[in-house]
Amino acid sequence: MTNEHRSKHWVVLAVVLAAEVMDLLDATIIAIAGPSIRADLGGGTAFLQWLAAGYTLAFAVGLVTGGRLGDLFGRRRMFLVGAAGFTLMSLLCAIAPGPAALVVFRVLQGLAGAVLIPQGLGLIKAAFPPEKLGAAFGAFGPVMGLSAVCGPILAGFLVDADLFGTGWRMIFLINLPVGLAALIGAALVLPRTQTEGGSLDLPGTMLLGGALVLLVYPLVQGRELGWPWWTWAAMAAALPAFWVFQRYERRRQRAGRTPLVEPSLLAKRRFNAGLLVGLIFFAGLMGLTLILSVWMQVGLGFSPLRAGLTQSPWAFGTALGAVGGHILSARLGGRRLIVGGTAVLGLGVAGLLVTLAVVDGPVSSVQLLPALLVLGLGMGASMAPYFDIVLAAVDEHEVGSASGTLTAVQQIGGAIGVALLGTAFFSWSATETALARVLWLELGLLALAGGLSFLLPRRAREEASEEKELVTVG
């Protein structure tokens, strides 16, 4: 293999990561920038809710469909379509004249992200040889985690800096150069992947979308509305809706028609175990990220910029943990690293609890630094091997469905975490006592995720073939 081909692999990874960073930053910045947007455009608390919820719902509902579009029409082509749409919607968000227009553009931005993001994992798998996939996915996961943590820092800086008099609008304008660079890079270096016959499963799309809306909508809006009876009824109806969806997919495949989600994925025990671990892990992670940002501003009175900067040790620890995780993964195996990283995350949460207990008076940024650094180390180490292990047993024709499903589960996990931890936090008056109780809930989620991680293979490459053989024999 020539040096040019070797370097091209990493350019492909850089292009995919640029798109991931754009999406994750836009998913996390609203927590910091929302109050400034409302002060400028007007609107009530429901407007703030929909700035985040509109994006989340559109993104979650469209993700699996976006992955399937990549299978049908080519992942490179759909990556370009998604990146162009995301960049355009970022511009429209930045120039939105009022609350309603901004919410509409955020929903369309989420749909564009749902087309863009599922292509990334498949493109990486197509571009890298098998022996390099571990290194590629080892960079992929931590960059996603680092972007999620850095979102509030960047948002706080941009809002406070008021660059060129743009105020909050710069949080969307900053996507333009990144999006254009990703588009140019994608056109030049992304590999063309094999496409499949068949057509898009529109009934399956509607069934899956309906099931996800039944679950995600009440989770996002329930606390704001006071948890009326219909929110609980909707969440209860989500489970039979998912059952109807998977039954329909099996019937569609038996009839010789292309399903939205490959039913064969449901037979892969380790892939499904990875989805469950990711659901719980990201629920705790994204919920804690939001709660800490809100507590620093509401409870401690920090400015948006100071709240963002206070979380910088978390971002630094994530990068450091990712590097260490990549080095240790070959020696320890991915499963041990995920379990160990989750345990380190738990130590970071325990450190926050100790800090709240021993500090007399308001907590300072410096006093939070050690615990946040440990949180970052655990997060980076946990995420380094995650994608490689979960996708190792997936066949090539399943990559689009698997990628969309994996990313959708992360998004749903984040919505569940924000709803669960957010409801607990605000129900307890957003005080230090409320934060301490939320941290105990966080420890429970981490313990559950760590325990379920033992269902994953010890190492991705060596056990993936065994699972495929078992599925074939079965």
Predicted local confidence at residue 367, as pLDDT: 92
Output the DSSP codes for 294-348.
Answer: HHHHHTS---HHHHHHHTHHHHHHHHHHHHHHHHHHHHH-HHHHHHHHHHHHHHH
Predicted local confidence at residue 471, as pLDDT: 43
Q: How many CB atoms lie within 10 A of CB 459?
A: 20
Indicate the angle between helix axes 30-41 and 130-161, nearest 10 degrees: 40
Indicate the angle between helix axes 99-116 and 3-28, nearest 10 degrees: 150
**Residue 340 to residue 242: CA distance in whole angstroms:** 33
**Residue 31 to residue 43: CA distance in whole angstroms:** 16
**Residue 453 to residue 278: CA distance in whole angstroms:** 9
Closest CA to 191 of 135, 119, 134, 126: 126
**Residue 121 to residue 278: CA distance in whole angstroms:** 16
pLDDT single digits (tens) 107-159: 899 899 888 887 877 788 777 777 777 777 766 666 766 676 677 778 888 88
pLDDT single digits (tens) 209-247: 888 788 877 876 777 778 899 999 999 999 999 899 888
* pLDDT at residue 456 is higher than 90: no
* Mean pLDDT calculated for residue range 12-27: 80
**Residue 222 to residue 467: CA distance in whole angstroms:** 40
Output the DSSP codes for 400-462.
Answer: HHHHHHHHHHHHHHHHHHHHHHHHHHHHTTTSHHHHHHHHHHHHHHHHHHHHHGGGS-SSHHH
Predicted local confidence at residue 468, as pLDDT: 46
Distance from the Cα of residue 179 to its chain's centroid: 19
Predicted local confidence at residue 461, as pLDDT: 52
Indicate the angle between helix axes 334-358 and 432-452, nearest 10 degrees: 160
Closest CA to 351 of 269, 288, 261: 288
* pLDDT at residue 86 is higher than 70: yes
- According to the per-residue pLDDT averaged within each range, which of 54-58, 235-239, 272-276 is highest? 235-239
Predicted local confidence at residue 109, as pLDDT: 93
**Residue 227 to residue 384: CA distance in whole angstroms:** 37
- pTM above threshold 0.85: no
* Mean pLDDT calculated for residue range 417-430: 72
Q: Where are the alpha helices (DSSP H) in 74-129?
A: 75-94, 99-116, 118-127
Contact 352, 371 (CB under 8 A): yes
Helix (H) or strand (E) holding 148: helix 130-161
Decide which of 121 and 45 is more confident. 121
Contact 153, 315 (CB under 8 A): yes
* pLDDT at residue 409 is higher than 60: yes
Distance from the Cα of residue 131 to its chain's centroid: 26
pLDDT single digits (tens) 325-334: 777 766 766 7
> What is the percent of the chain where pLDDT is above 90?
15
Say which amino acid occupies 45: T
- According to the per-residue pLDDT averaged within each range, which of 19-28, 86-95, 114-123 is highest? 86-95
